[in-house]
Amino acid sequence: MTHSPSSFDEMLTAEGTVRAAYSGYREWYDAQDPLALRRKGAEAEGFFRKTGITFNVYGDDAGEERLIPFDMVPRIVTAAEWRKLSRGIEQRVRALNAFLHDIYHRQEIVRAGRFPQRLIAQNEAFLPQMVGFVPPGGVYTHIVGIDLVRTGPDDFMVLEDNARTPSGVSYMLENRETMMAMFPELFTKVNVRPVQDYPRRLAKSLAACAPACAGERPVVAVLTPGIYNSAYFEHAFLADQMGAELVEGSDLRVVDGRVAMRTTRGYTPIDVLYRRVDDDFLDPLSFNPTSVLGVPGIMDIYRAGGITIANAPGTGIADDKAIYSFMPEIVEFYTGEKPLLANVPTWRCSEADSLAYVLDNLADLVVKEVHGSGGYGMLIGPTSSKKEIEAFAAKLRAKPDNYIAQPTLALSTVPIFTKAGLAPRHVDLRPFVLVSPQGTDITPGGLTRVALQKGSLVVNSSQGGGTKDSWVLED
């Protein structure tokens, strides 16, 4: 059995010298009293409990609120690394938007023989209601989260695209606020690019996507499924920070050809709805008729140009992991450039040769559902028992179209704070991207998720991972 090669350590070279990105931080860290740092760690946890930064768990412990563990050692990227990454992210998001426009219009990429029609036609995330319609400003993916992993000094790869409703940005902001409150002197020593203005930039970006019928100051609202949703904290936090109304489906109705929200002064029209509700629940007249989370008739208003929905309905197809495997072709087809960010090598189990390879090598691979998210419904071969692998092989044979497989990557490591001092743990990174007719805005840094268990590669908070502050250094 092949094991993944040793991981790239983002702070230390093989010889044990500190890399440039971490030099300022490490100097500061070495001068600290370990006991005082341990007290700070406990303080941070108290701060998160007090603020109520939790997420709800689905599955066996449904409804249970958990604290996402926070680690106080930042993940640090140099200005030069970030410039390179930003170019790759911008290119990818541009291609995703062009792809979404194309599949809902002429499907040129299919006609050119570069992409299989069946991945659109048989995809439940493809919405016929969006065919032939262009969203205001031509933007489909207003907010995107691109999940990146690092495998070497210059090797960043895209693990997945989150174009539906990426979450986690509130943790990015709270992690920074916590670090600044605990270690103000550290930020005078190390020059870090700010992230605190994200809500203002989000509000500005969404307002720039308002439909033609909007006034001088477009009205933006955040649509939440309600307090039982796992990301409710984030919905409330962002609405509050943006100065936007937080609304539920029951607060909204169609009035005079507009979607309006109930206020103390009657109903007020909304120009931009940042929705954190899945497509299926958005409009009971167009989608799931039993939904009480959405607004009856909103799709008619949307298609008539009366409101902007962010992200556009039907963008979820871009999160599909079978479509992800075609991203190198998609980037090249729409931008005319080679992808600046590589994909993780991916086997499509719908193809007979790939399926045979995957079944033969299950013990070494990671297998994911094409529509899955949050680390659920996947197999991590190297850490699975023989019995689990056999059970998963049966699932694969029964529904090969439902799965893709990837090699077990040697994710880079970043130090975390432990009682015994600093210890390396695997991480990924989700930068957040705002798209409007005025351009692409990438927040410097993003959410770093960290596998807190030694040797673990699973960083999802739903599977026991934690988060840390992500620093992009100023030049």
Q: Which region among 17-31, 79-93, 184-198, 403-417 has the lowest average model confidence (pLDDT)?
A: 403-417
Place of tokens 């019995």: 387
379-380, strands of its sheet edge to edge: 347-348, 403-407, 365-369, 379-380
Other Cβ atoms less than 10 A from the Cβ of 227: the count is 11
Q: In sequence order, which residues have a C-beta less than 8 Å from that of residue 144 and are 6 or more positions away?
A: 93, 96, 161, 162, 163, 166, 432, 433, 435
Please list, residue by residue across 441-450, b when 16 or more beta carbons sit within 10 angstroms of its beta carbon and e when fewer do. Answer: bbbbbbbbbb
What is the C-alpha separation between 102 and 202, in angstroms, rounded? Answer: 26
Encoded amino acid at 133, one letter = F
Instruction: Find the mean pLDDT for residues 46-68.
Output: 58
Percent of the chain surpassing pLDDT 90: 77
The 10s digit of each residue's pLDDT in 250-308 is 999 999 999 999 999 999 999 999 999 999 999 999 999 999 999 999 999 999 999 99
Same domain? 50 vs 195: yes
| Residue 375 belongs to some domain of the structure | yes
Listed in order, strand segments (DSSP E) in 155-265 are 155-162, 220-223, 245-247, 252-255, 258-263
Other Cβ atoms less than 10 A from the Cβ of 399: the count is 12
Same domain? 160 vs 274: yes
User: Between the CA atoms of 84, 85, 88 and 89, what dihedral angle is there, to the nearest 10 degrees?
Assistant: -150
The 10s digit of each residue's pLDDT in 92-135 is 999 999 999 999 999 999 999 999 999 999 899 999 999 999 99
The 10s digit of each residue's pLDDT in 329-341 is 999 999 999 999 9
What is the C-alpha separation between 194 and 435, in angstroms, rounded? Answer: 19
Percent of the chain surpassing pLDDT 70: 94
In this prediction, residue 3 carries a pLDDT of: 36
The 10s digit of each residue's pLDDT in 444-473 is 999 999 998 888 877 776 667 899 999 999
| Residue 249 belongs to some domain of the structure | yes
Would the pTM of this model clear 0.85, i.e. be above it?
yes
Does pLDDT of 48 surpass 80? no
Number of domains in the chain: 2
Does pLDDT of 175 surpass 50? yes
Same domain? 350 vs 340: no
Same domain? 404 vs 415: no
Does pLDDT of 54 surpass 60? no
Same domain? 337 vs 370: no
For residue 386, the domain's CATH number is 3.30.1490.270
Output phi, psi for 178, to 5 deg: -65, -45
Same domain? 338 vs 389: no
In this prediction, residue 1 carries a pLDDT of: 27
Average pLDDT, the chain: 91
Same domain? 314 vs 381: no
| Residue 12 belongs to some domain of the structure | no
Domain span including residue 359: 345-408
Same domain? 390 vs 456: no
| Residue 247 belongs to some domain of the structure | yes
In the listed set 388, 408, 428, which residue is the last one of a domain according to the structure? 408
Nearest CA to 143 out of 58, 231, 229, 214 is that of 231
Same domain? 155 vs 227: yes
Same domain? 172 vs 213: yes
